[in-house]
Amino acid sequence: MDTPNRIVTDSTMPARLFSRRSGLLAGLGLLGTAALSGCSPQPLATGASASISPGIWSGKLAELEQDLGVALSVCAFAKGGSTLGYRAEEPFAMCSTFKTILVAALIDKYAHSEGYWETEVPVDPAKLLDYAPIAKKFAGRSMTITQLCDATARYSDNTTANLLIEQLGGTSAVTAFAAAKGAPNTRLDRIEPEMSEAKPGDDRDTSTAKDLAGIYNSLLLGNGLDLTGQAMLRSWMLRNTTSAQKMRAAIPKDAELADKTGSGGYGAMNDVGVIFRKGKPPVTLAILSRGVNAAPDTDGNAEAIVKATEVTLTALG
């Protein structure tokens, strides 16, 4: 789950964008510097454009782990430039970062089905979870698919995420979509809130930094979605409300961020997204973390996300 910085619902803007393909593409001006260009991840190695060596970068992350009592997994690459990996193929709990994949799977299936996005889905008060900042306002009523996606992608609402999982056909459909988009080590086994348990050693509901960086890159910059679908996903993720104290706190003021955060038990805290820097190539970055010898109710360490972002952006130049 995640705690939003503010509650400002804006489900009408995506609905307007979805109304016609031509209208959607005309709305790309809303995305600022986030140009719709391809970017494919390279092998885990550092290119000539890096500002510091991979050894120094890895050492700085190891220092962060020691100082903050966390375990980190990081994968990052800049378009046409360097790629960095630190324990990038080790499984970590996904927590709410799966919600981007969930929304993208629906977009991939229904982006051109104009009427689908206004389909109304009942919000059963009996299924309302503790963390449901948007869904609780609709308890006993209905939300459109557009509203469910907005709440899930921007506010990390657990109840709306579960409703979207039902729409897609279950957790296995999320896993299958991830595999089809080049993330074979990503699996969703449970719904919220159980999937955010994040118990160490449990392979359920896990992914790797390499997988998540790769699929986010594909969906937001590459060919994972068509032009219409990519614009739909970006329109939500560029307006995420949960990252002010995480990755967003570490990026340049004039940069844009399309990301999804996540947190769970045992000190799990993640942030994955694309950073659109002014005058520089975009950076795709996945940072996964968990507490070391942490109790089930241990909170995640946002400072670890912020500092790992700073170190990595410095390494990438």
Domains of the chain are 12-315 (3.40.710.10)
What's the whole-number mean pLDDT along residues 173-184? 98
What's the whole-number mean pLDDT along residues 10-37? 40
Cα–Cα distance for residue pair 244/224, rounded to 1 Å: 27
Integer-rounded Cα Rg, in Å, for the chain is: 18
Cα–Cα distance for residue pair 316/79, rounded to 1 Å: 11
Question: Which of 34-48, 182-196, 199-213, 243-257 comes out lowest in average pLDDT?
Answer: 34-48
133, 139 contact by CB (below 8 A): no
| pLDDT of 4 | 60
List residues with catalytic annotation.
96, 192
Cα–Cα distance for residue pair 289/309, rounded to 1 Å: 12
| pLDDT of 2 | 72
What are the CA-CA distances from residue 131 to residues 19, 96, 104, 126, 166 (Å)?
30, 12, 22, 14, 18
